[in-house]
Amino acid sequence: MTFNTTAYARGTRRGATTSQIFCNNAGIYNFQFSIQFDKTSGGDSLAYIWLRRNGVDIADSASQIRIKGNNAEIFAAANVYQAMSNGDYVQLMWSADDLDIRMLYEAAAAPHPAVPSVILTVNQVNI
């Protein structure tokens, strides 16, 4: 997944590849994320989300989401604690068993603001 905007950053930064989130300080970090999924065809399908650290999948970080039916929308959220060294990066990954599953963005329209497809929050919780 790529990240196009940063609302606030202290101790982290997006890389030249906007899928990479770098940690500027060593410590324990809490990576919290939420994703809006949408399915545009019938039947049941599975989507998976997980974290990678420095290009390697983080063990036990995956979540499985079952999406049922046409026009089904699912909000998935999770968090993962991970020890990071100065200069390490994480990536939020996803996969689905159906090409008709997508991450859903909705533009602002009265009475609500825009709905981002992905929100990622990163907090350093220990040094």
What's the pLDDT score for residue 7? 86
SS (H, E, C) 76-91: EEEEEEEEECCCCEEE
Please list, in sequence order, all residues whose beta carbon lies within 8 angstroms of the beta carbon of residue 52, skipping any fewer than 6 positions away.
58, 90, 91, 93
CATH class of the domain whose range is 12-126: mainly beta
Report pLDDT digits (tens) over 2-61.
898 888 888 999 998 999 999 999 999 999 999 999 999 999 999 999 999 999 999 999
**Per-residue pLDDT, 68:** 92
What's residue 9's pLDDT?
A: 85
